[in-house]
Each structure stands twice: as C-alpha cells, then as structure tokens.
Amino acid sequence: MQQRELEVALRGEKGKGAARRIRREGKIPAVLYGPKRETFHLAVKPEELKKILTSGARENTLIGLKIKGPGSDRVGNPVVMLKDLQVHPLSQSYLHADFYAVAMDQKIEVDIPIRLVGKPEGVKLGGIQQQAMRDIRVRCLPTEIPEFLDVDVSALKIGDSLHVRDLAPPEKFEFVTDQNFTVASVVPPISEAKYEQIVSAPEGEREIAQPERIGEKKEEPEVAEPGAKAGKEAKEAKEAKEPKK
C-alpha cells in the first residue's frame, strides 16, 4: 500500500480550551500514541487529512507524519494509521483525530474490504446473490495491507455459499475472522406475487418467505368435497358421531 505524507504541528497545550483555540485557527486537535511510545498532542489541517482519506483506504492508509514545531525532534517522523476520527454530525467537518504509530517490522490486525468478482452461475439462472460479509480481518505487516480482497464468486450455483474457510489467503497475510463465517451466497428467487403477498400482509402476520426453487413443484392445497365441513367444525362433527368409549 502506498504511503502518504501529512504535515502536522506539535502542541504543548491540552484540554478543551486548547482544542477550541486550535479549531478557531482552522485546524483540528489530534493525538499520537503507540506501543512503547510517549503520547503527543498535535494540530492538523483538516483539508490535508481529508485529501488523504478520500483518495486512499481510509483507516488502513499508512501516513508518514512530518512533525513541525519546538520539541518535534523528540517525536521523530513516525508512520501511523488513523485509529479514530470524530466528525460533526451535521456539518461533517472533522473535530478530532487519533493516530496510532505502527512498527513497520511487526504484524498488525486490520479490516480489509471484500470485493466480489465475477457473476455467479446461479445468478445467470435467476438466483439472487447475497454478500453477507463486507470486511474481513487479517494479520499482516503494515506494508502488505491490501486496499481490497478480491473474492471470485463466479462458480457459485443456486443454494451455494462461500465461507471464510473456502478462501485462500495470500502468502503475506492470514485471516483472523472466524473460518465458518459466510462471505457470499446465491439464493433462489421468490416470485413477484409472493413478494407482494409478504409486504402487503399486516405486521405480525407476515410469514418468512421461503424462496421458490426453480423447477420445484408447488404442493396443491387440499380441496374439501362438496357439502363437507372444514377445519375445526368438521373435526367436532366427526367426534360427535363416534361412540364414546
């Protein structure tokens, strides 16, 4: 994965008051931490951080910090990953960032987006493709983090499922996610009439739709003989005719 560069300023002040002053200056407060490393407080230009996050793999992007300001020699220029980003709920502007310093020679665990590749055989026959897992957790060196994990689903037939155990991880990383988790599947379609029946039924009376398999014959409902009573009434009439023991 390509490493990006970000210039930040080292700050000595901490607390809410200092954070507000930084935001008034057009920057956002940030913190740098990591294993066997002192915690430092930083100031970041939000527009520069946004450029990195919108053009890369977001939290999995490797960022080389270029730290400026008095005392920056104590910090060095660490390689970090974005661990947390606070965003304003209305304006979507950045409020605070957490940077985690990584050791380039030690493996870390990250979540990688899954990208399904190919058109399943079952979809060509009318089945519906479902993606149950959007990300998969892997362990690898920071320099080996992929932007995506491509998963080929072209061989899936109707009724087939693909699990984590079915995937072959590249040599440079290993899967951490449970091997039994389903990644993708192809399910039989349901008819339009059945769908309308489900969505139009009153809440609480909706039955869970069981997809109709292609070519499967439906069971015909039993038809009562003319004049015959149905349901509970018929059962009671039958019991009344039988002699009591």
State the CATH number of the domain containing residue 127: 2.170.120.20
Number of compact structural domains in the chain: 2
Structural domain that includes position 85:
3-101
Give Cβ neighbours of residue 83 (< 8 Å, ≥ 6 apart): 59, 98, 99, 100
Specify the CATH number for the domain of residue 12: 2.40.240.10
Question: Following DSSP, what letter does each residue of 140-179 receive, concatenated?
Answer: E-GGG--S-EEEE-TTPPTT-EEEGGG----TTEEE-S-T
- Flag whether 131 is in a domain: yes
DSSP 201: S
DSSP 15: S
Q: Are residues 94 and 13 in the same domain?
A: yes
- Flag whether 239 is in a domain: no
Strand pairing partners for 84?
98
- Flag whether 155 is in a domain: yes
- Flag whether 231 is in a domain: no
Q: In the chain, which residues have pLDDT < 50?
A: 206, 208-209, 211-215
Tokens of 95: 């409020």
CA 94 and chain centroid, separation? 22
Q: Which amino acid is at 184?
A: A
User: Considering 54, 75, 101, which residue would you say is the last residue of a domain?
Assistant: 101
User: Considering 66, 101, 136, which residue would you say is the last residue of a domain?
Assistant: 101
- Flag whether 21 is in a domain: yes
**pLDDT given for residue 14 in this prediction:** 77
Digit-coded pLDDT (tens) for 41-54: 999 999 999 999 88
User: Considering 187, 206, 239, which residue would you say is the last residue of a domain?
Assistant: 187
- Flag whether 153 is in a domain: yes
Q: Are residues 33 and 65 in the same domain?
A: yes
Lay out the sheet containing 173-175: strands in order across.
Answer: 149-152, 108-117, 135-140, 173-175
**pLDDT given for residue 152 in this prediction:** 97
DSSP 207: P
- Flag whether 147 is in a domain: yes
CB burial of 24-53 (b: ≥16 within 10 Å; e: otherwise) equals eeebbbbbbebeeeeebbbbbbbeebeebb
Alpha-carbon gap, residue 211 to 189, rounded angstroms: 6
Q: Are residues 166 and 119 in the same domain?
A: yes
Tokens of 101: 């310093």
**pLDDT given for residue 225 in this prediction:** 53
**pLDDT given for residue 231 in this prediction:** 53
Q: Are residues 95 and 141 in the same domain?
A: no
Alpha-carbon gap, residue 128 to 50, rounded angstroms: 37
